[in-house]
Protein backbone atom coordinates (compact mmCIF):
# COMPACT_ATOMS: atom_id res chain seq x y z
CA UNK A 1 0.00 0.00 0.00
CA UNK A 2 1.38 3.41 -0.91
CA UNK A 3 1.86 6.30 1.47
CA UNK A 4 -0.95 8.84 1.72
CA UNK A 5 -0.56 12.14 -0.10
CA UNK A 6 0.34 14.72 2.54
CA UNK A 7 -1.14 18.22 2.20
CA UNK A 8 -0.45 21.21 4.45
CA UNK A 9 -2.62 24.32 4.18
CA UNK A 10 -0.99 27.56 5.37
CA UNK A 11 -2.31 31.03 6.24
CA UNK A 12 -1.14 33.80 8.58
CA UNK A 13 -2.45 32.80 12.01
CA UNK A 14 -3.83 29.30 11.44
CA UNK A 15 -7.21 30.18 12.93
CA UNK A 16 -9.36 31.25 9.93
CA UNK A 17 -8.47 30.20 6.40
CA UNK A 18 -6.06 27.27 6.71
CA UNK A 19 -7.98 25.25 9.34
CA UNK A 20 -11.13 25.76 7.25
CA UNK A 21 -9.31 24.56 4.10
CA UNK A 22 -8.09 21.54 6.08
CA UNK A 23 -11.61 20.77 7.32
CA UNK A 24 -13.17 21.22 3.89
CA UNK A 25 -10.60 19.05 2.13
CA UNK A 26 -11.14 16.30 4.72
CA UNK A 27 -14.91 16.66 4.30
CA UNK A 28 -14.69 16.31 0.50
CA UNK A 29 -12.33 13.33 0.82
CA UNK A 30 -14.64 11.67 3.33
CA UNK A 31 -17.70 12.28 1.13
CA UNK A 32 -15.81 10.64 -1.76
CA UNK A 33 -14.69 7.72 0.45
CA UNK A 34 -11.01 8.46 -0.15
CA UNK A 35 -9.93 10.03 3.15
CA UNK A 36 -7.47 7.15 3.62
CA UNK A 37 -5.50 8.44 0.62
CA UNK A 38 -4.62 11.72 2.31
CA UNK A 39 -3.00 13.16 5.40
CA UNK A 40 -3.97 16.79 5.93
CA UNK A 41 -2.99 19.52 8.40
CA UNK A 42 -2.71 23.29 8.55
CA UNK A 43 -0.29 25.83 9.97
CA UNK A 44 0.28 29.57 10.26
CA UNK A 45 3.24 31.69 9.29
CA UNK A 46 3.17 33.49 12.63
CA UNK A 47 3.03 31.89 16.05
CA UNK A 48 0.41 34.13 17.64
CA UNK A 49 -2.28 31.45 17.91
CA UNK A 50 -0.33 28.27 18.66
CA UNK A 51 -2.55 25.83 20.56
CA UNK A 52 -5.75 27.81 19.94
CA UNK A 53 -8.98 26.61 18.35
CA UNK A 54 -9.99 28.17 15.03
CA UNK A 55 -11.60 31.61 15.25
CA UNK A 56 -15.19 31.38 16.60
CA UNK A 57 -16.53 33.07 13.45
CA UNK A 58 -14.81 30.46 11.28
CA UNK A 59 -16.14 27.63 13.43
CA UNK A 60 -19.64 29.10 13.41
CA UNK A 61 -19.62 29.54 9.64
CA UNK A 62 -18.24 26.04 9.07
CA UNK A 63 -20.86 24.52 11.41
CA UNK A 64 -23.61 26.32 9.49
CA UNK A 65 -22.47 24.24 6.48
CA UNK A 66 -22.11 21.00 8.43
CA UNK A 67 -18.31 21.13 8.74
CA UNK A 68 -16.68 20.51 12.12
CA UNK A 69 -13.19 21.89 12.64
CA UNK A 70 -10.92 19.90 14.95
CA UNK A 71 -7.63 21.73 14.88
CA UNK A 72 -5.26 23.50 17.25
CA UNK A 73 -3.19 26.31 15.80
CA UNK A 74 0.46 25.68 15.06
CA UNK A 75 3.29 27.57 13.41
CA UNK A 76 4.81 26.57 10.10
CA UNK A 77 8.36 25.29 10.52
CA UNK A 78 11.21 24.33 8.23
CA UNK A 79 10.68 20.62 8.95
CA UNK A 80 7.30 20.89 7.21
CA UNK A 81 9.11 20.80 3.88
CA UNK A 82 10.26 17.27 4.65
CA UNK A 83 6.96 16.17 6.18
CA UNK A 84 4.49 17.33 3.51
CA UNK A 85 4.14 16.68 -0.22
CA UNK A 86 2.23 19.88 -0.94
CA UNK A 87 2.21 23.19 0.91
CA UNK A 88 -0.83 25.21 -0.18
CA UNK A 89 -0.81 28.84 0.91
CA UNK A 90 -3.70 31.28 1.03
CA UNK A 91 -2.00 34.41 -0.31
CA UNK A 92 1.20 35.82 -1.72
CA UNK A 93 2.43 37.07 1.65
CA UNK A 94 2.09 33.55 3.08
CA UNK A 95 3.87 32.24 -0.01
CA UNK A 96 6.72 34.71 0.45
CA UNK A 97 7.07 33.90 4.16
CA UNK A 98 7.10 30.14 3.59
CA UNK A 99 9.73 30.56 0.87
CA UNK A 100 12.04 32.34 3.34
CA UNK A 101 12.41 29.06 5.23
CA UNK A 102 14.36 27.38 2.43
CA UNK A 103 16.38 27.83 -0.72
CA UNK A 104 16.14 24.15 -1.67
CA UNK A 105 14.58 23.84 -5.14
CA UNK A 106 12.70 20.64 -4.21
CA UNK A 107 11.16 22.39 -1.21
CA UNK A 108 10.17 25.40 -3.31
CA UNK A 109 8.30 23.21 -5.82
CA UNK A 110 5.95 22.11 -3.02
CA UNK A 111 4.56 25.62 -2.45
CA UNK A 112 1.42 26.63 -4.36
CA UNK A 113 -1.37 29.18 -4.01
CA UNK A 114 -4.50 27.21 -3.13
CA UNK A 115 -6.70 29.44 -5.21
CA UNK A 116 -5.02 28.08 -8.34
CA UNK A 117 -7.71 25.38 -7.99
CA UNK A 118 -10.66 27.79 -7.79
CA UNK A 119 -12.69 26.71 -10.85
CA UNK A 120 -14.65 29.96 -11.23
CA UNK A 121 -12.16 32.72 -10.48
CA UNK A 122 -8.76 33.77 -11.68
CA UNK A 123 -8.04 35.57 -8.41
CA UNK A 124 -4.88 34.24 -6.81
CA UNK A 125 -5.47 34.94 -3.15
CA UNK A 126 -7.95 33.84 -0.52
CA UNK A 127 -8.83 37.07 1.31
CA UNK A 128 -8.26 37.17 5.05
CA UNK A 129 -11.69 37.56 6.74
CA UNK A 130 -10.23 38.48 10.15
CA UNK A 131 -11.14 42.19 10.11
CA UNK A 132 -14.44 41.85 8.26
CA UNK A 133 -17.92 40.75 9.14
CA UNK A 134 -19.81 37.50 8.73
CA UNK A 135 -20.12 38.02 4.96
CA UNK A 136 -16.31 37.82 4.67
CA UNK A 137 -16.27 34.48 6.45
CA UNK A 138 -18.99 33.19 4.13
CA UNK A 139 -17.08 34.43 1.08
CA UNK A 140 -13.93 32.65 2.28
CA UNK A 141 -15.96 29.49 2.96
CA UNK A 142 -17.28 29.48 -0.61
CA UNK A 143 -13.82 30.10 -2.11
CA UNK A 144 -12.23 27.35 -0.03
CA UNK A 145 -15.12 24.96 -0.66
CA UNK A 146 -14.70 25.28 -4.44
CA UNK A 147 -10.91 25.25 -4.35
CA UNK A 148 -10.50 22.24 -2.06
CA UNK A 149 -13.18 20.27 -3.91
CA UNK A 150 -11.47 20.92 -7.25
CA UNK A 151 -8.04 20.18 -5.76
CA UNK A 152 -9.29 16.79 -4.57
CA UNK A 153 -10.86 16.09 -7.94
CA UNK A 154 -7.60 16.90 -9.74
CA UNK A 155 -5.51 14.81 -7.36
CA UNK A 156 -7.84 11.83 -7.83
CA UNK A 157 -7.59 12.18 -11.61
CA UNK A 158 -3.82 11.94 -11.25
CA UNK A 159 -3.24 15.56 -12.18
CA UNK A 160 -0.47 16.14 -9.70
CA UNK A 161 0.58 19.64 -8.71
From 23, 25, 19, 22, select the one nearest 72 (Cα to Cα): 19
Whether residue 128 lies in the annotated active site: yes
Strand-pair partners of 10 = 43, 89
Whether residue 105 lies in the annotated active site: no
- Tell me the chain's radius of gyration from C-alpha atoms: 14
Whether residue 16 lies in the annotated active site: no
Among candidate residues 41, 80, 118, 128, the one labeled active-site is 128
Q: Are 113 and 124 in contact (CB under 8 A)?
A: yes
Among candidate residues 17, 57, 59, 115, the one labeled active-site is 17
Establish how many alpha carbons lie within 13 A of residue 52's alpha carbon, considering only the half-sphere containing its beta carbon.
Answer: 16
Active-site positions?
11, 17, 128
Amino acid sequence: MSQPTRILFVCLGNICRSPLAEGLFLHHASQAGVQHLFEVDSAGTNGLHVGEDPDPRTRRNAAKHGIELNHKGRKFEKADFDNWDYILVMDKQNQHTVRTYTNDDLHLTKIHLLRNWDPISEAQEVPDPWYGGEEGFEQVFQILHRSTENLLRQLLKGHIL
